[in-house]
Amino acid sequence: MSSFEATLAGELAGIDQAGLRRALRRVESIEGGHLGYAGQSLVQFASNDYLGLASHPQVVEAAIEAARRYGAGSTASRLVCGSLAPHHELEELLAEWKKTEAALVFSSGFATALGVIPALLGNADIVVVDKLVHACCIDAARLSGATLRVYRHNDLEHLEEILVWANEQRSGKGATKRVLIVTESVFSMDGDQAPLEQIVDLKDRYGAWLMLDEAHAVGIHGETHSGLAEARGVADRVEVQMGTLSKALGASGGYIAGRRALVDYLVNSARSFIFSTAPVPAASVAAAAAIRVVRSPEGDEMVGRLWRNIGTLDRILEPHRGKQDRAASSILPWIVGPNQKALDLADGLRRRGIFVPAIRFPTVPHGKSRLRFSVSAAHSPADFELLEKALRELARETEPAPAA
């Protein structure tokens, strides 16, 4: 074996020993609440397609039509000749929906964070993030070169302590330091919500800016389903509204919504925007079609069904994960602790026709491995019945045998 291979094999052996080895599964089909895997059809509680829009006929047709009209790719970056009509239409639609002056789309949510945070901050600045923000925001914060401070998850007192500290740094030698707070509105692995009103009050009080990642909230929360900022009435006070088009909207890409100056500045400075080929036109057209569905009466009906399904799953999980706060999103984690336990439960469910991912470190902290259930409006009563039965059987299987 070459030393290159041997080095990597050694790394993999370490990952294996820790029970953290991952491998890809080849999924043959995925639609709504079902996926095809290894010749089986499984009910899945895994995808982020919370409304079933990835396979909605209007969304799929729009993508096909766009591919015919604009081709398979965008041919260049936005600033060269890849700034196609579908990108502009999607941005206008997003801005209208979010009630902001402007919006900007990127080829993914990850690329959005990676472009935006380093564009806004540099070495002299401070970035303050919730402990549980997504890897893309952590990586982007590091890339920016700003001083990174982490506050305990949803802990307003800790956040305020850090903002006090940040202002002390600012009042030092001359240079006005920028302070940016980054949080998710709905957290991707825990499914809980950030105390947005209080965070917005704090950032105003201390003269900081807020970047809000609505990846798991857009399409689901708020009167027009534009996100949790809308639901809490704070959207117009958030400097940088970020989200993805790849989850509830069923398409692909990331976005920023905010002031015209923000968008114009990002066009001139966000490196993942400038130095990357524009999003695939079919993806942008699909995202726009999905937003139109979400904002229609059909969208209201889908979101209503999603929330009823969330309530159903919450009730089914209760005997297993214990009493919890009422589910605040379409993500319901069952935190079981050890890696092996999460893997065994996922295996047991898979044998009974159900796919739920076991989530381990580094996606979640050590000792907090979990089954992460995600619900869709597309799940049927029969899907939930199968899950309920499977969980009951598994619980019986793992009960200690009665003493002889």
Candidates 50-58, 211-219, 313-321, 335-343: pick the segment binding ligand PLP (CB under 6 A): 211-219
Q: What is the DSSP letter of 242?
A: E
Does position 331 bind ligand PLP by CB under 6 A? no
Candidates 149-157, 210-218, 275-283, 385-393: pick the segment binding ligand PLP (CB under 6 A): 210-218
Which of 254, 279, 281, 299 lies at the binding interface for ligand PLP (CB under 6 A)?
254
SS (H, E, C) 316-366: HHHHHHCCCCCCCCCEEEEEEECHHHHHHHHHHHHHCCEECCEECCCCCCC
Cβ at position 60, least distance to ligand PLP in Å: 19
Cβ at position 378, least distance to ligand PLP in Å: 19
Q: How far is CA 90 from the centre of its chain?
A: 20
Question: Which residues are part of the catalytic machinery?
Answer: 48, 134, 184, 188, 213, 216, 247
Residue 105: helix, strand or coil by DSSP? Answer: strand
Cβ at position 54, least distance to ligand PLP in Å: 13
Which residue lies nearer to ligand PLP by CB, 190 or 230? 190
Q: Can you say whether residue 253 is alpha, beta or left, with left for phi > 0 and alpha for psi between -120 and 50 degrees?
A: left
Which of 246, 272, 309, 369 lies at the binding interface for ligand PLP (CB under 6 A)?
246
Does position 188 bind ligand PLP by CB under 6 A? yes
Which of 34, 98, 134, 178 lies at the binding interface for ligand PLP (CB under 6 A)?
134
HSE-CB at 318 with a 13 A cutoff on CA atoms is: 12
Which of 49, 125, 190, 213 lies at the binding interface for ligand PLP (CB under 6 A)?
213
Triad 375, 378, 383: Cα angle to 5°: 70
Residue 42: helix, strand or coil by DSSP? Answer: strand
Burial class (CB in 10 A: 0-12, 13-18, 19+), 182: buried
Which residue lies nearer to ligand PLP by CB, 134 or 379? 134
Q: Work out whether the CA dihedral 154, 155, 157, 158 comes out positive or negative.
A: negative
Residue closest to ligand PLP, measured at CB: 109
Does position 357 bind ligand PLP by CB under 6 A? no
Which of 244, 272, 312, 330 lies at the binding interface for ligand PLP (CB under 6 A)?
244
